[in-house]
A and B are shown apart, each in its own frame.
Chain A
Amino acid sequence: MLQETDNSRREFIKAMGLGGLGLVTLSSPWMSVFAENKTASKGASDKVRIAVIGTGSRGSYHLSYLKAMEETDNIKIVALCDNYEPHLKEAMKYLNGSAKGYSDYRKVLELKDLDCVLIATPLHQHAHIAVDALNAGKHVFCEKTMAKTLPECKLMYDTAKQTGKILQIGHQRCFKPTYIKAIEYIRSGKIGKVNQIRAYWHRNNDWRRPLPSPELERQINWRLYNEYSCGLMTELASHQIQVANWVLGKTPVSVMGTGSINYWKDGREVYDNVALVYSYSDGTKFIYDSMISNKFYGLEEQIMGDKGTLELETNKMYNENPPQPAGILQLVNDMEKGLFNTIPIAGTSWVPETASNYKGDYISLDDKIDVEGKLQLIGLINSIRQNKPIPQLLEQGYHAAIWTLLGQQAIDEQKILTLPKEFSI
């Protein structure tokens, strides 16, 4: 059963169509956490003990992986914590009572037999729980966005560095084969110079959850209120800002934006639509919008280079000038020259190396294998066992958070904003 960890890792590497991790780690350094080809032992000394703080929808998502990993990766979920009792009860039932339940995260941090906490609480609680956990000697996995304010993000980052504990932010696209392969294509020059990135995330729902009673409005629908959330920016945009930074290998120099509530006028405080432009040092732009009153276009990140285009969510790549496939090209050439030669084109299957100018080709043939949710957790566990943070991963989360929050501020203040010096790392 423990073999499954290696199988997942191998499956992931196969899915990326790679012979090994060497090249990948140049463009995605955090992938080196999988370089050690060592299956965890079943021994107690290797067991990683984890608690989940925040067992609502996102916490449950992680729990489903963690529960399976108890069988395969020598981890143990020792505690669950949520200050909303129905969520806590449901999570404890899911684990058949094998973990202890808490309503106060501070009690969880007092546990001696605890290595790591996974924080999936509302945004405004990320910082103080993470900082307390790091100071209590625990490693931390914190859901994105890192925190609600710039100072909080910096405090989390500094505390992780000072304590030497691992702090990982939940940007799972860092572990998605299609994205990693796309970055390799970009770094190898396959689409030329990236001149613009465009991304969007469109949904059509009010984002509300059912309320057992009206008094729970702000607790359950925290995403709609400025006290707890920055709405579309921190809940959605931060994923795509992280991707844009990763693609370009740098962070923006400025941001401008606008937002409003033009449809869901139901007492919410956060915008129901935003539009921003991030500028990078060489003039490249990242253009972004998000809305929740139309879902036709869904979500996408469009990476536009002078030689080609990548659409990451739909796993497509398009050459600006697609070459013809070699076998058919030879056949056409022969026909043109009056030659009648056998053309060796028949085979088992064709792997897309060339792009069509009609519908594009796939970046990764295994996009449908959804491994990133699990792999980010396997990476976390590996890094805890290796006792070292995953290279560059925290920085991805930090920069994504900072520029997400600056984007929000730019909208609120209607100004073009740059990075305040005190938040440079």
Chain B
Amino acid sequence: MKSSSSIVIQYFNCSSMGTRFDFLTYGLDEGFYLSVKTFIINELERIEHKFSRYDEKSEIFRINKLAFTEPVTTDSETIALLNLCKAYYLKTNKLFDITVGNFTNIKDETFQNEGGNDKKTSSSSSKVSDFENTSVLGTDKIIIDLKDSTVRFLNPMLSIDFGGIGKGYALEKIKHYCTENRISNALISFGDSSITTLGSHPHGDYWPIGMQHAFSVGLPLHTFRLNDSCMSTSGNSPNNRLKFGTNGHIFNPQTGEFQKESKTITVVTNSPIDAEVLSTSLFIAGNNDKAEILSRFNPIESIEISYNQINEHKIIDLNHEFTIIVKKE
């Protein structure tokens, strides 16, 4: 991509993990840029196929199928990610929980061969009524044996869903690759909700990323100044409602309910994984939990935007004792 200035801007996008992935950088050697693009695309595909719970050939599908009946041997990357999730489970007062995925999906029973869709995975029965008792859930009920490199589940209702961390994990891998290969400046986005930056915009000292109003188009409500930092946004908006309905899509494992409030939480940290986990957890946390969780993560910035009506919103700085920055009516 050529520009009228001396900067060569390089950008591509692709679909990954159910959303759009963008990679924007500038000034790289063209051959090198192509190798970066190839690596990123392959890595996204690798991670998606390895950790997708819907892909019958994925590692997670295999573990979900077998881990209650027997300890399942798996590789070091999967073990490391599971251990990380267990740490996050405790760090977020159990609000970040990779075992809630099955609860939030209601699927049909096994397809018949005749007239059915051969490409669908046959999934275990997951009717909501089976999970009325949410105490069966919990990342602490996934047992990892580091010595044997095995995973097992303590009850048959458990299943691993990396949906709440997958994008952050992929961004972490890509950020690491870029850093190792001395890419100084880049903006890497997963669906506009998880954004990782390296360096800065070519004409400034940071990447100026504006937070859109969730329910209307207009000037950004808040600007984040990202330089070698990562942001993640969780919340409810018309986009989510299109997909998930008014019930919201972020599940609170403590209450057993989806969080329906019209609000968003955006956090800025140094780690894409931290950002994704933290934004989701803060979205469903009560104020006491919020304060505790924030003290453990110490994000660079954390903002809550709540909407009472389309024309009324409130921006709260969670890092500074929940100070209201803006209340617009």
Residue ranges of A at the interface with B (Cβ–Cβ < 8 Å): 10-11, 14, 17, 57-58, 60-61, 64, 143-144, 170, 172, 201, 203, 235, 239, 295, 298-299, 313-314, 324-325, 327-328, 331-332, 334-352, 354, 356, 358-362, 365-366, 368-370, 373
Contact = CB atoms under 8 A, between A and B. Distances in A.
Contacts of A325: 13, 20, 22
B114 A335 contact: no
B20 A352 contact: yes
B319 to A, nearest CB: 17
B82 to A, nearest CB: 23
A298 B212 CA distance: 42
B15 A356 contact: yes
10 contacts: A58-B114, A324-B13, A340-B203, A345-B192, A345-B195, A348-B239, A349-B193, A358-B12, A361-B20, A365-B242
A343 B212 CA distance: 9
Contacts of B211: 344, 346-347
A349 B209 contact: no
Nearest to A11: B245
A342 B52 CA distance: 34
Interface in B65-115: 105-109, 111-115
Contact of A347 (B111, B118, B192): B192
Most chain A beta-carbon neighbours within 10 Å: one of B111, B113, B120: B113
Contacts of A331: 24, 187
B24 A338 contact: no
Contacts of A344: 210-212, 219-220
Contacts of B54: 368
A239 B245 CA distance: 30
A299 B20 contact: no
Contact of B15 (A295, A327, A341, A358): A358
Nearest to A16: B242
Interface of B: 1, 3-5, 7, 9, 11-16, 18-20, 22, 24, 26, 41, 54, 105-109, 111-120, 187, 189, 191-193, 195, 201-204, 208-212, 214, 219-220, 223-224, 231, 233-237, 239-240, 242-245, 264, 266
A17 B240 CA distance: 10
A332 B235 contact: no
Contacts of A361: 15, 20
Contact of B237 (A57, A347, A365): A347
Given A201-B118, A347-B239, 20 more contacts: A14-B242, A14-B245, A143-B115, A144-B115, A170-B115, A203-B118, A298-B119, A324-B13, A328-B11, A328-B13, A332-B24, A340-B203, A342-B208, A345-B210, A346-B195, A346-B212, A348-B235, A350-B20, A352-B20, A373-B108
B141 to A, nearest CB: 25
A368 B108 CA distance: 9
Q: Which 8 A-B pairs have the closest CB atoms?
A: A336-B3, A344-B210, A344-B220, A358-B14, A350-B191, A370-B108, A340-B204, A340-B203
A347 B212 contact: yes
B13 A346 contact: no
A366 to B, nearest CB: 7
B208 A343 contact: yes
A353 to B, nearest CB: 10
Most chain B beta-carbon neighbours within 10 Å: one of A299, A324, A359, A366: A359
B200 to A, nearest CB: 10
A58 B116 CA distance: 10
Contact of B203 (A335, A343, A345, A354): A335
B210 A348 contact: no
Contacts of A370: 107-108, 111, 117, 120
B41 A358 contact: yes
Nearest to B241: A14
A342 B15 contact: no
Given A368-B105, A368-B107, A350 B19 contact: yes
Contacts of B20: 325, 350, 352, 354, 356, 361
Nearest to A315: B119
A350 to B, nearest CB: 4
A346 B203 contact: no
B118 A298 contact: yes
A274 B245 CA distance: 43
A121 to B, nearest CB: 12
A340 B200 CA distance: 11
A356 B242 CA distance: 21
Given A346-B231, A350-B193, A362 B18 contact: yes
Contacts of A235: 114
Contact of A345 (B112, B189, B239): B189
Contacts of A360: 15
Nearest to A354: B20
Contacts of A335: 3, 7, 9, 26, 201-203
A204 to B, nearest CB: 10
Contacts of B116: 61
A327 B212 CA distance: 10
Contacts of A328: 11, 13, 22, 24, 189
B111 to A, nearest CB: 8
A349 B239 contact: yes
A58 B113 CA distance: 9
B21 to A, nearest CB: 9
A255 B231 CA distance: 57
B19 A352 contact: yes
A369 B105 CA distance: 8
Most chain B beta-carbon neighbours within 10 Å: one of A144, A332, A345, A373: A345
A163 B26 CA distance: 72
Nearest to B263: A348
Contact of A313 (B12, B119, B187, B195): B119
B210 A342 contact: yes
B109 A64 contact: yes
A343 B204 contact: no
Given A61-B112, A331-B187, A347 B203 contact: no
Contacts of B13: 324-325, 328, 356, 358
Most chain A beta-carbon neighbours within 10 Å: one of B4, B108, B115: B115
Contacts of B112: 57-58, 60-61
A313 B117 contact: yes
Nearest to A318: B15
Contacts of A144: 115
A24 B159 CA distance: 36
Contacts of A58: 112, 114-115
A254 B244 CA distance: 44
A166 to B, nearest CB: 20
